[in-house]
Amino acid sequence: MTDFAQITLIGMGLIGSSLARAIRSHGLKTRLVGCDSNPQHVAEARALNLVDQITSDPIDAVKSADLVILATPVGSYADLGARLCPVMKPGAILSDVGSVKASVVKTLQPLMRDDCHLIPGHPVAGTEQSGPKAGFSTLFDGRWCILTPPENTAPEKVRALEKFWQAIGSTVECMTPDHHDMVLAITSHLPHLIAYNIVGTARHLEEVTKSEVIKYSAGGFRDFTRIAASDPTMWRDVFLNNKDAVLEMLGRFTEDLTALQRSIRYDEGDKLFDLFDRTRRIRKQIIDAGQDEDVPDFGRHTDDIPD
């Protein structure tokens, strides 16, 4: 069930196309409209029959929508908001799927009409792939979706959006935009920044050739390259729009890294063991919480290994 007669998805990449597939696979009765500025994405979405209507005109896409979800890089929100907010249907909800939230509220709230409702959202799910073909209907199953409604948002509108995300398989939690950005800075943004940096460092080592980096990649490095393969536009915008929280977490990480460097330099084995033991327990807690599987594949899935 859904409270929305029409849902419009702006952006038909991984998240947007997965939303379209999830809405269909869970049987939500709604008119589904997609929009993308990339002609190839429009053609692929049409060929895949992801939505009832696909267009490159965002104004046409939103004018009859009860729910509009921005699934584009957050750097595009200011321009999109300026174009869309004046033509949105009275009572409509404007949401998004970006992984930063305080900047979204700061950008879009001043553009909202009094008869429309801004409720930013963040489904904590994704892969390093992109484009309409990369989406899949189960992306949100059992995953968290965080909503960050501004103060004084109509409770019934928040509840309607909660019901939508629950209907496509997500578990929903609400928090303030600033708290969201601090949490995601350590759980998502900093790991991506580290991955980009490690892969970049390996690429520039004079003592190791590029072919050796690829040929002798161990599981840990392969995992970093998977993360570092994520959409560069999206992650550029994430870091620029959550810079305060990311810089604070990066400072803490640098301090901890310095302490780790000291333990290695001075043969402080007990300190190293204690750290590794504590972090191992964190991994177990993540598995126990259902956020990953306890399957050690060392960078290779078992179904990829020939018999």
In tens, the pLDDT along 66-109 reads: 999 999 999 999 999 999 999 999 999 999 999 999 999 999 99
- For the chain, the domains span 6-175, 179-304
Mean pLDDT of all residues belonging to the chain? 87
User: Which token pair is 86?
Assistant: 């004046």
Confidence of residue 25 (pLDDT cuts 50, 70, 90): very high
> In whole angstroms, what is the distance from residue 55 CA to residue 249 CA?
40
User: Which token pair is 227?
Assistant: 């993360």
DSSP state of 111: G
Confidence of residue 304 (pLDDT cuts 50, 70, 90): very low
The CA dihedral of 285, 287, 290, 296, to the nearest 10 degrees, is 170
In tens, the pLDDT along 35-73 reads: 999 999 999 999 999 999 999 999 999 999 999 999 999
**What superfamily would CATH give domain 6-175?**
NAD(P)-binding Rossmann-like Domain (3.40.50.720)
Measure Cα distances from 270 to 113, 263, 266 in Å: 60, 9, 11
Tell me the residue type at 232.
P
User: Which token pair is 216?
Assistant: 């002798």
pLDDT at 302: 41
The CA dihedral of 179, 180, 182, 185, to the nearest 10 degrees, is 180
**Is residue 296 predicted with pLDDT exceeding 70?**
no
Q: Which helix (H) or strand (E) holds 85?
A: none
Residue 133, judged by CB atoms within 10 A of its CB (0-12, 13-18, 19+), counts as middle
**What superfamily would CATH give domain 179-304?**
6-phosphogluconate dehydrogenase C-terminal like domain (1.10.3660.10)
Average pLDDT over residues 267-293: 80
The residue to which tokens 């992109």 are assigned:
130
In tens, the pLDDT along 152-179 reads: 999 999 999 999 999 999 999 999 999 9
pLDDT at 206: 52
In tens, the pLDDT along 113-131 reads: 999 999 999 999 877 678 8
Name the nearest CA neighbour of 249 among 195, 165, 295, 193. 193
- pTM, 2 dp: 0.80
Average pLDDT over residues 243-249: 89
pLDDT at 29: 93
Residue 146, judged by CB atoms within 10 A of its CB (0-12, 13-18, 19+), counts as buried
